[in-house]
Structure 1
Amino acid sequence: MLHLMEANGFSLEKCRAVITGASSGLGAEFARQLAPRAEVLVLVARRAEALEGVKRELPERLKVLTCVSDLAKDSGIRNVFEFLEANGVKPNLLINNAGMGDYGSFMSSAEEKTRTQLDLNVTGLTMLTHGMLTRMDRPGGIINVSSLASTLPMPELAVYAASKAYVTSFSEALAVELAPRGITVSCVCPGPTPTNFSKTAKREDGGDTNREGQGLLRIPPQQVVGEALRALEEGRACVFPGLGVSIAGRLFRLVPRRFLRWMLKRRMAKE
Structure 2
Amino acid sequence: MTDHRIALVTGASRGLGRSAALGLARRGARVVVTYRGGAEGATDTVQMIQDAGGDAVAMRLDLSDVESFAAFATELAEELRTRWGSTRLDVLVNNAGIGLFDRLDDVTVERFDALVNTNFRGPFFLIQALVPHLAEGGRVINVSTSLTRHVSPGTSVYAASKAALEVLSRSLAVELGPRGIRINAVAPGPTATDFNGGAMRDDPELIGALAAQTALGRVGKPDEIGDAIAALASEDMRWVTAERIEVSGGALL
TM-score, length basis structure 1: 0.76
The whole-number CA distance in structure 2 between the counterparts of 1:107 and 1:168 is 26
Per the alignment, residue 220 of structure 2 pairs with 219
The answer on 1:53 being equivalent to 2:51 is: no
Aligned partner of 2:76 among 84, 95, 116: 84
- What is the one-letter code of the residue matched to 1:227? A
8 Å contact kept, 2:192–2:221? yes
User: Structure 1 residue 152: deviation in Å?
Assistant: 4.0
Aligned partner of 1:173 among 158, 171, 174: 171
Per the alignment, residue 3 of structure 2 pairs with 13
Q: Alignment length, in residue pairs? A: 229
Structure 2: runs of 5+ lacking an equivalent: 82-86, 200-205
Cα 1:39–1:157 shift into 2, 3 Å = closer
- List structure 1 runs of 4+ shifted beyond 6 angstroms: none
User: Structure 1 residue 147: deviation in Å?
Assistant: 0.7
The answer on 1:97 being equivalent to 2:88 is: no
- What is the one-letter code of the residue matched to 2:45? V
The whole-number CA distance in structure 2 between the counterparts of 1:145 and 1:104 is 21
User: Structure 1 residue 148: deviation in Å?
Assistant: 0.7
SS at match of 2:153: coil
Alignment of 1:116-195 (within 5 A): 116-152=114-150, 154-195=152-193
Aligned partner of 1:35 among 9, 25, 33: 25
Computing the radius of gyration over CA atoms, which structure comes out larger, 1 or 2? 1
8 Å contact kept, 1:148–1:189? yes
SS at match of 2:21: helix
User: Structure 1 residue 171: deviation in Å?
Assistant: 1.1
- What is the one-letter code of the residue matched to 2:229? A
User: Structure 1 residue 162: deviation in Å?
Assistant: 0.4
The whole-number CA distance in structure 1 between the counterparts of 2:192 and 2:117 is 24
SS at match of 2:139: strand
The whole-number CA distance in structure 2 between the counterparts of 1:64 and 1:150 is 32
8 Å contact kept, 2:7–2:32? yes
Per the alignment, residue 240 of structure 1 pairs with 246
The whole-number CA distance in structure 2 between the counterparts of 1:132 and 1:48 is 22
Deviation string 1:157-198 (CA, Å, 9 cap, x unpaired) is: 111010111111111222333223210112101111112221
Give the alignment's Cα RMSD to 1 decimal: 2.4
* Greater mean deviation of Cα atoms: 37-46 or 137-146: 37-46
SS at match of 2:3: coil
* Greater mean deviation of Cα atoms: 48-57 or 105-114: 105-114
User: Structure 1 residue 200: deviation in Å?
Assistant: 8.2
Structure 1: runs of 5+ lacking an equivalent: 1-10, 202-209, 249-271
The answer on 1:22 being equivalent to 2:12 is: yes
SS at match of 1:224: helix
8 Å contact kept, 2:189–2:249? no
* Greater mean deviation of Cα atoms: 73-82 or 48-57: 73-82
Cα 1:171–1:211 shift into 2, 3 Å = farther
The whole-number CA distance in structure 2 between the counterparts of 1:62 and 1:143 is 21
- What is the one-letter code of the residue matched to 2:55? K
The whole-number CA distance in structure 2 between the counterparts of 1:175 and 1:35 is 25
Identity, % of aligned positions: 27
